[in-house]
Amino acid sequence: MILSQADFDRLLDFTKQAHPEECCGLIVGDGETVERLMPSANISTGDKTKSFELDPKVRFELIRESGERSLMGFYHSHPNGNPFPSKTDRSMVYEPELLWVITTCKEIKAFRFNETNQDFEEIPIRVKL
C-alpha cells in the first residue's frame, strides 16, 4: 500500500482526535495507491473504545461519486492497544478483498485477510513524500 505522508499524518491525527474512542473511515484509491481518506463517524452502539461501525452514509457517498470500484479498504484505530487485528476485527470480515488499516496514536499497520488461513496478513506500507 502506498500512502502519502500527509495521509499518514492525517490517520494519526484522526486517532488522536477520537481518543479514547476508535476512529474509522474508508480508504479510496487505485490499485495500491491511496488517493484519499473518507472519515466516518463511529456509529457503534457498543463500547466505542473497543469497537467501531462506519456510518453507511459515507459509503453511499463514495458510491455516488465514483462507484465502489475505488474502495480499497477501511481504517480504524486501536487507541489503547496495538495496531494488529483483534478477535473482534476477525469476526467483522465481510469483504476479505478489502484492506484493513489499523492505527494507534503512534503506529499504522495494513492487513489483508487470507481466506485460506482465515487470518490477517500484514502488508507493507510505503510512505511517499
In DSSP notation, 72-108 reads: EEEEEE-TTS-SS--HHHHHT-S-TTSEEEEE-SS-E
CB 99 within 8 A of CB 74: yes
| CA separation for the pair 17, 31 (Å, rounded) | 29
Residue pLDDT, tens place only, 93-127: 999 999 999 999 999 999 999 999 999 999 999 99
Residue that has been written with the C-alpha cell 500500500 in this structure? 1
Banded model confidence at residue 19, pLDDT cuts 50, 70, 90:
very high
- Residue 33 above 80 pLDDT? yes
Distances (CA, A) of 84 to 40, 62, 114, 120: 21, 26, 15, 9
- Full strand arrangement of the beta sheet holding 71-77: 119-123, 108-114, 99-103, 71-77, 24-30, 33-40, 2-4, 126-128
- Residue 51 above 90 pLDDT? yes
Q: What is the pTM of this model?
A: 0.94
How crowded is residue 48: how many other Cβ atoms within 10 Å of its Cβ?
18
For the domain bounded by 2-128, which CATH number is listed? Answer: 3.40.140.10
- Residue 69 above 90 pLDDT? no
Please give the pLDDT value at position 95: 92
- Residue 79 above 80 pLDDT? yes
Domain boundaries, the chain: 2-128
